[in-house]
Structure 1
Amino acid sequence: MRFDIIKCHGSGNDFALIDARGLDLPDTAWADVARALADRAGPVGGDGILLLTDGAGAAAFGMRIFNAYGSEPETCLNGLRCVARAGLEALGLDTATVRLKTSEAEVARDADLAPGVYTVRETAGPATLAVADWPLHGEGEQIVDRPITRLLPTLAFTAVAIPNPHLIAFVDEVDEAELVRIGAICEAAPDWLPNRANVSFVHMRNDREVYVRTFERGVGLTNACGSAMGASIFVAGLTGRLPFDQPITVRNRGGLVRASASADGMVTLSGNATFEWSGSVTVKDGRAHDLIVTERRADEIDAWARI
């Protein structure tokens, strides 16, 4: 099957975006498309695929995401900005409610982070602390700033869902090898964590800036994870490290976003939704073939590179 795609990224979290409105494919087919297009050895590559879907009720349009391994998480806030841009432009809107897998989010065109950087503001939540909903077994009803001995008895975690599950640890220095080790334990879907979880190490640079590094469920180490950044800011407020409702710059391997979180668990991120190129590609027999690029957006690529 041949697809029109837009190669895009939010904070370096890169995807192939497909306008799937009116397309009737089973989830197993979309999972196959995701694995084929996300293959870094193939002609497209990425952390997964994004689908712009039809709206329902108050939602003007919807979003689905299938990651590089073919599974479907609840949301991806970096990907949401890209889908939001596509949906807003397609419908001629400045703001919209977006239907996600298990929730909704509010999106709007925002002031550019930097000249030429198309920027979207997104508000999602509320974040929840009930680990039984994940489920995460054997650690009580909530985990707030305390060790999980099965992961690392000397490191304090906070467990939060937004709505996809995150384990957040504040560290003096990001040890990527340790992050990968812990992320791999969660990725293996042990009996006590059957649906896995995203794991993030957060380093507070000062009271206005933090750095987040994430092992993303279904992806591995990633340049950025939007919901992890939102969860990290909420946990910073929850644990008294930062005040709620204070604008924060969140940096990651892929760039940065502006962020804030409220005491009621709502998080707002404002970040790029960069379209790099448009084209079409065939997916057949589990692989991507015959990519044709019809438009390159060098101005957007250069604008983001300057950040």
Structure 2
Amino acid sequence: MTKAVAFTKMHGAGNDYIYVNTLLYSIPDPSEASRQWSRPHFGIGSDGLVLICRPTTADADYRMRIFNADGSEAMMCGNASRCIGKYLYEKGLTTKTSIRLETASGIKVLNLHLNTDDSRRVDSVTVDMLEPRLDVAEQYDGTRTDGTFVSMGNPHFVIFADEVPTTPVLTERGSALEHDKAFPQRCNIEFAVATAPNTFRTRVWERGSGITMACGTGACATAVAAITTGRADRSKPVEIVMDGGTLTIEWRSDNHIYMTGPAAFAFEGTVDLP
């Protein structure tokens, strides 16, 4: 008999995922579930599948696993981690406003900002994204010089342009660059345009998902690239304006990147396992 699974659809600045609480439901083949459920028109439609799990270490409160729309498992997603913070708090799974979330790229601390009029609601979340890395040999061979490589636990290549690419251009260039031989593990691609001091309009081609409305790690990578190339001032927050909304990035004195942005529920339902 096919088993029905309860899911929650959430988005962070338009970056939308299907969330399943694996403390209640087992997903035997999350890669196939992500492929089937993420399909527009034929499934729920999303950028991928996020599993909320028990941690494997006592240092974390919960664990996140994330699968792209093509079924590949990702190491980290900033937007998804913010959504998990809202999910855990508003569904009563925790009363903490500082949550330690285990991911494939380390433990991330989620600091929840509650609504001033209703403390049961989370308005936004700040995520400690840890330290950026600019030279990771196994992820980037250094042969491309038309952008800046930044690892936020997952690989990003940021290209600064004179104008924001149209969707056809983003699709063509993003797809080609994702699979470029310079990136042995494939890569997330960002195209950024400076629109004001410390403000960048950015579009994203996400590894394994294609064009997404926003990318939290991509916003962090864009800010790091802008600062390291002299396009932004590290002493001030950097605003990254994406298709689905704006994320605020800070590169603080502890060398960690802090990302602040919204998280929102879309709808809930049940779906059959593939």
Q: Same fold (TM over 0.5)?
A: yes
| Equivalent position of 2:160 in the other structure | 170
Matched, 1:20 2:22: yes
Q: Take 2:6 and 2:48, find their aligned partners in 1: how far apart are those partners? A: 15
Written as runs of structure 1 = structure 2, the 5 A alignment for 1:40-189 is 40-55=40-55, 56-89=57-90, 90-110=93-113, 118-134=123-139, 136-137=140-141, 139=143, 148=144, 156-176=146-166, 177-188=168-179
Q: CA–CA distance in 1 between the matches of 2:71 and 2:33? A: 8
Answer yes or no: is the 8 Å Cα contact 1:59–1:97 preserved in 2: yes
Q: Distance between the aligned counterparts of 2:104 and 2:209, measured in 1?
A: 18
Which has a greater percent of helix?
A: 1
CA-CA distance at 1:91 after TM superposition? 1.4
Between 78-87 and 117-126, report the one with greater CA deviation.
117-126
* 1:279 aligned partner: 269
2:189 is the alignment partner of 1:199: yes
In 2, the alpha carbon distance for the partners of 1:20 and 1:279 equals: 15
Structure 1 contact 168–199 (Cα < 8 Å) conserved: yes
Which residue, out of 219, 230, 242, partners 1:229?
219
Distance in structure 1 (CA, Å) of the matches to 2:223 and 2:253: 11
Deviation at 1:117, TM superposition (A): 7.3
Aligned CA RMSD, in angstroms, stands at 2.2
Taking a change above 3 Å as real, the CA distance of residues 59 and 74 of structure 1, as seen in their structure-2 partners, is: same
2:202 aligned to which of 212, 218, 233 = 212
Runs of 4+ aligned structure 1 residues displaced above 3 Å come to 22-26, 176-179, 262-265
Distance 2:106 2:152 in 1: 9
Q: Which digits, 9 at most, give the CA deviation of each residue in 1:246-273, with x for residues without a partner?
A: 1232211111122222366421111111
| Deviation at residue 194 of structure 1 after TM alignment | 2.5
Aligned to 2:259: 269
- Partner AA of 2:201 in structure 1: Y
Q: Is 1:10 aligned to residue 15 of structure 2?
A: no
State the alpha-carbon separation in 2 of the partners of residues 58 and 264 from structure 1: 20
CA shift for structure 1 position 9: 0.2
Aligned to 1:260: 250
> What's the offset of the Cα at 1:37?
1.2
Amino acid at match of 1:7: K
What TM-score, normalized to structure 1?
Answer: 0.80
Aligned residues: 265
* 2:14–2:214 CA contact under 8 A, matched in 1: yes
Cα distance in 1 for residues equivalent to 2:236 and 2:114? 18
Residue 238 of structure 1 is matched in structure 2 by 228
Percent identity (aligned): 28
Change (3 A) 1:42 1:265: farther
In the alignment, structure 2 segments of 5+ residues that lack a partner are: none
CA distance in 1, matches of 2:159, 2:172: 14
Question: With structure 2 as the length reference, what TM-score do the two structures score?
Answer: 0.89
